[in-house]
Structure 1
Amino acid sequence: AGLGRTSGPNYGRWVASDNWVRAALAMPFDDEPGGTMLYSTGSTHLLSAILTRRTGRSTLELAREWLGPQEGFSIAAWDRDPQGIYLGGNQMAMSPRSLLAFGELYRSGGMSRGGRQLVPADWIKLSWHSRTASRFTGDGYGYGWFIRQIAGEAVFYGWGYGGQMVYVVPGRALTVVMTSDENGPAGRSGHRDDLHALLERIIEAMKHVREARSN
């Protein structure tokens, strides 16, 4: 959006404000819209506010209706801002099983385990198309998904604070979920890189098993 970030050092001040939408919109422009990546939870919260305004329904209600038919998916609770808008970026109470179901939905092209098209396949392709890059990691970024190569495979991943990860590896028909201590940042500590390395070992192990079977 080009707006100044509400994440990182600005996050505490932002969530302490009495109106998160207005506070996000009041941030000064740090770049032109469509410019360099400015990772900001405020931007995704604005999407939640837009959905709520346009549909007249809460983001949680929409998520449960649109994604609820996916077996295993559920959101038990979700934090809201002072106006009651669900936080469009984090603080969703999801079990590893639920996060896995979400990742599998994307891996299968938006088709539920029961055979229903819940997310348009074209939208998933758009979401997984790199449009910018993180200045912290160099990884590509699409619509809510980070993109990188791990063990020679294209990997699309969602990264939650502390190291709550969902990895989708289409070339290996693989979805992996990892959870971590939520009380510390995963990036600066190197923990995120440890999780990437763990996924690399998983992919390499799969390759060895497949080679052994083919022999």
Structure 2
Amino acid sequence: MDSTKKNITIRHLLTMSSGLKWPGNEAMIPSKNWVRFVLEQPVESEPGNDMKYSCGNSHLLSAILQKATQMNTVDFAKKNLFGPLGIEDFKWYQDAHGIAIGGFSMAMKTEDMLKFGLLYLHNGKWNSKQLVPAEWIDKSTRNLAVEETSYGYHWWILRDKNTLSEEDKTFYAMGMGGQYIFVNKQRQLAAVFTSNLTDDVSSPIHYYKNYILKLREG
């Protein structure tokens, strides 16, 4: 591994600014070792300089978590997050080496997606128990991207003319085909969209901004 790759940090992976080239899922999936495939990609930019969305970054985070905890990421999530939230019916696939896929291939019920949104809305608390540190909630939902793209720690930040302040921002998670979790703390709002879109996967954002957010203003 060259010296530039050694400078890649967990924060770079969280903010999609590792600088590693990302050829796409279609290139990674056929490879025998996904972690090695991601790490062997050439460095396109200095870590921390450019934000480029990459499922490979997310998969490295899953591999790091498994090594650090000595637990499969799925089991770790069941124990510390899904279990307390009452999330039982979900699918989360693994690569050929038993590493839970970090960037895609998770499916769960709409109501369970909402539980995750409510957890963030309430600063990491669920039934009076602090499941996720409030400091992490705050850091992960701030715009930390190095370019104009608004992005935190794996959360997108929605900014438009209706945003009154930093506290009034909406942050959201976005999945393939138009799956969304929207959270706005100022307005005490959590909303979920499930879709099967192939063309304009951003249309739920427009619905959220033009209808749900405006209704909440009233």
Which TM-score band applies after superposition, normalised by the shorter structure? 0.7 to 0.9
Give SS of 1:141's match: coil
CA separation of 1:11/1:68 partners in 2, compared to 1, >3 Å: closer, same or farther? closer
Please tell me whether the aligned partners of residues 64 and 75 of structure 1 are also in contact (alpha carbons under 8 angstroms).
no
1:4 aligns with 2:4: no
Equivalent residue number for residue 95 of structure 1 = 109
Please tell me whether the aligned partners of residues 106 and 124 of structure 1 are also in contact (alpha carbons under 8 angstroms).
yes
The normalised TM-score by structure 1 is: 0.85
Quote the offset at 1:13 in angstroms: 1.4
Instruction: Kindly report structure 1 stretches of 4+ aligned residues shifted beyond 6 Å.
Output: none
Please tell me whether the aligned partners of residues 70 and 105 of structure 1 are also in contact (alpha carbons under 8 angstroms).
no
Give 1:160's match in structure 2, choosing from 157, 175, 185.
Answer: 175
CA separation of 1:68/1:97 partners in 2, compared to 1, >3 Å: closer, same or farther? same
Quote the offset at 1:11 in angstroms: 1.5
Please tell me whether the aligned partners of residues 49 and 146 of structure 2 are also in contact (alpha carbons under 8 angstroms).
no
**2:152 aligned partner, one-letter code:** G
1:172 aligns with 2:182: no
The normalised TM-score by structure 2 is: 0.84
Separation in 2, partners of 1:74, 1:106 = 19
Which segment is superposed worse, 151-160 or 83-92?
A: 151-160
Quote the offset at 1:25 in angstroms: 0.2
**1:4 aligned partner, one-letter code:** K
Q: Deviations over 1:132-162 (max 9, x none)?
A: 167xxx5410100000225434110001011
Which segment is superposed worse, 151-160 or 36-45?
A: 151-160
Equivalent residue number for residue 212 of structure 1 = none
**1:195 aligned partner, one-letter code:** P
**2:172 aligned partner, one-letter code:** Y
Give 1:197's match in structure 2, choosing from 195, 206, 209.
Answer: 206
Quote the offset at 1:72 in angstroms: 4.2
Quote the offset at 1:181 in angstroms: 0.6
Give 1:33's match in structure 2, choosing from 47, 62, 70.
Answer: 47
Equivalent residue number for residue 134 of structure 2 = 121
Please tell me whether the aligned partners of residues 139 and 148 of structure 1 are also in contact (alpha carbons under 8 angstroms).
no
- Show structure 1 runs of 5+ residues with no match: 209-215
Separation in 1, partners of 2:85, 2:69 = 25
Quote the offset at 1:44 in angstroms: 0.8
Quote the offset at 1:76 in angstroms: 2.0
Q: RMSD of the alignment, in Å? A: 1.6
In the TM superposition, what are the counterparts of 1:60-75 in structure 2 within 5 Å?
60-74=74-88
Quote the offset at 1:78 in angstroms: 0.8
Q: Percent identity?
A: 35
Please tell me whether the aligned partners of residues 72 and 97 of structure 1 are also in contact (alpha carbons under 8 angstroms).
no
- Which structure has more RCO (C-alpha within 8 Å, separation ≥ 6)? 2
Separation in 1, partners of 2:83, 2:184 = 23
**2:217 aligned partner, one-letter code:** K
1:111 aligns with 2:120: no
Quote the offset at 1:90 in angstroms: 1.6
CA separation of 1:166/1:97 partners in 2, compared to 1, >3 Å: closer, same or farther? same
Give SS of 2:119's match: helix
Quote the offset at 1:86 in angstroms: 0.4
Give SS of 2:191's match: strand
* Paired residue total: 195
